[in-house]
Amino acid sequence: PSLTTRLYSEEDSVVILTSATVKQTLLNSSTAWLVQFYSSWCGHCIQYSPTWKALAGDVKDWEHAIRIGVLDCAQENNFDICKEFGIHFYPTFRVCASQDLNYVGADRELQTVRQLMVNFLQNHTTQDWPVSCPPLEPYSSADILPLIGQKSNQYTAVIVENEDSYVGREVILDLMMYQGLTVKRALSSEKSLTEKLGINSFPSAYLLHPNGTHAILHVQKRLRFFFSSFLKLLLGVHRKLSTSGAPQELPVSLIFSRSKVYMADLESGLHYLLRVELATHQTLEGEELKTFKDFVTVVAKLFPGRQSVVKLLETLLEWLVSLPLEKIPFDAILDLVNNKMRISGMFLSDQLQWVGCQGSRVGLRGYPCSLWTLFHVLTVQAASRPDALANTGLEENPKAVLQTMRKYIVNFFGCQECGKHFEEMAVASLPQVKSVDQAVLWLWRKHNQVNGRLAGTMSEDPHFPKTQWPSPDLCPTCHEEQDGIHVWNEDKVLMFLKQHYGAANISPKHMY
């Protein structure tokens, strides 16, 4: 790998610029750019790269206004361009706006850089550039008061705060890719507004609903992430699609709760996995057979399901273990699952019934959603029932569930690209997992990484935007802020995952 790819990769939300692309990219851009010219041999730059990646992730939703780039001046083919740009020290930061390139002082705390970006955008939006950047100037009482009680085709959220606070402008930018909502900023010095809205602590958010009703927005902590996350999840607020056209307003057919896990999803997933995905393989042998056996072992021992399903899985496992064959025709497995076992009351429904995993149209959510859900449930079971895998050969291995998942995804998961990405993540960080609790957290972390990568792409169901999960409404204590940066409280996340994916939270509702 090149030096550039060692410090930064496409996974990082930063745009990797080179001498071949930099001018064309920066000078003809409809967005502003914040570029770090670095050198891959400079220790300072290496130490700084996690901050820069974190910044790029933090402001990913602002990318139609400002984007984050890197250019490695230590690469031979970039020598000339760095000279042309006059880069003498590393790292050097530049905000690039249309034709002008300005040096920016290298105060490098994430929060400071982010505030600098906001100031920069605010100064430029007065000149209507970048075109997609929403207005960041505060609104006056006279602008806002007439809206109160009015019907509208969208929500308006008003963040009222002190002049030196950045929360309002950051929330405006966080929501710029969303439709169905406008966010405005007003200052706490607007007395007639604060009196009318009954707001006396800042920052506060006030929400005007499309139907004319209005109220203070209650969040657990009055922080940027809590406000943004709440607004993104409002009914009728969607991420704008890159393909044109509004998201279809297909009704979600079954009422379900986001704070529950549904047995119907888990069983539908197992049905699809066994009877559709695996059934495309005529015979199982070698690595595939081993993967299948491990998979059946893990689910038979850990799946907290209905008696009829668990019995079926256990019987399938006994059958596989007792067979000395090196090669098994998949038809034999299907025959066992579909016919032989049914007689003794062991069965797995052959209906696809998505509840928590239902999508707003066919092709969205469904099976991959159920597969994530299944493996989260299994990692949590492995952590809460330490003896469950006794005598399987997997009992000593805290990564048994994750390794089984990894092998399943690589060998069988129909989406090959997904498998490739997952494998890359596993190679990079699975060896660090040393306990069953860390396994639970690893899968959560990697799932969020995938969510981050897929947000705004065509895989996203506009009715179920991909967010960093669990959102503050599901687990307020999981979220904290340190120096203006969102951080997870991982102890609380672990507790939450164990509760959310625990057997007691799996709802039997909507089961056939």
- When asked if residue 410 is in the footprint of ligand FAD (CB under 6 A), the reply is no
- When asked if residue 492 is in the footprint of ligand FAD (CB under 6 A), the reply is no
Strand partners, 69: 15, 35
CB of 496 to ligand FAD, least distance (A): 9
Radius of gyration of the chain from its Cα atoms, rounded to whole angstroms: 26
- When asked if residue 270 is in the footprint of ligand FAD (CB under 6 A), the reply is no
CA angle 270, 274, 280 (to 5 degrees): 140
Active site residue 45: yes
Active site residue 42: yes
User: By beta-carbon distance, which residue lies closest to ligand FAD?
Assistant: 418
According to CB under 6 A, which residues from 356 to 375 bind ligand FAD? 357, 365, 368-369, 371-373
**Of the residues 139, 155, 227, 444, which one makes contact with ligand FAD according to CB under 6 A:** 444
- When asked if residue 422 is in the footprint of ligand FAD (CB under 6 A), the reply is yes
Between CA 473 and CA 479 the distance in angstroms is 10
Contact 432, 403 (CB under 8 A): no
Residue for token digits 């399943």?
Answer: 408
Q: If DSSP codes are grouped into helix, strand and coil, which group holds residue 386?
A: coil
Contact 58, 174 (CB under 8 A): no
167 to 28, 152, 332, 448: CA distances (angstroms): 30, 25, 61, 24
Q: If DSSP codes are grouped into helix, strand and coil, which group holds residue 398?
A: coil
According to CB under 6 A, which residues from 453 to 472 bind ligand FAD? 454, 459, 461, 464, 469
Catalytic: which of 45, 73, 133, 357? 45
Nearer to ligand FAD, 181 or 440 (CB): 440
Nearer to ligand FAD, 164 or 417 (CB): 417
Binding mask 300-339 for ligand FAD (x = CB under 6 A): ----------------------------------------
**Of the residues 101, 450, 455, 485, which one makes contact with ligand FAD according to CB under 6 A:** 450
List b or e across 148-161, with b for residues whose CB sees 16 or more CB atoms inside 10 angstroms. Answer: eeeeeeebbbbbbb
Token pair listed for 476: 């307020």
Contact 262, 256 (CB under 8 A): yes
Count of residues interacting with ligand FAD (CB under 6 A): 24
Nearer to ligand FAD, 186 or 478 (CB): 478
CB of 299 to ligand FAD, least distance (A): 15
CB of 267 to ligand FAD, least distance (A): 16
Give the count of beta carbons closer than 10 Å to the beta carbon of residue 273: 20
Ramachandran sector of residue 483 (left: φ over 0; alpha: ψ -120 to 50; beta: rest)? left
**What's the count of helices (H) and strands (E) in the chain, helices before strands?**
18, 17
Candidates 56-64, 76-84, 85-93, 413-421: pick the segment binding ligand FAD (CB under 6 A): 413-421
- When asked if residue 184 is in the footprint of ligand FAD (CB under 6 A), the reply is no
State the residues that interact with ligand FAD by CB under 6 A: 357, 365, 368-369, 371-373, 376, 409, 415, 417-418, 421-422, 444, 447-448, 450-451, 454, 459, 461, 464, 469
Residue positions annotated with a catalytic role: 42, 45
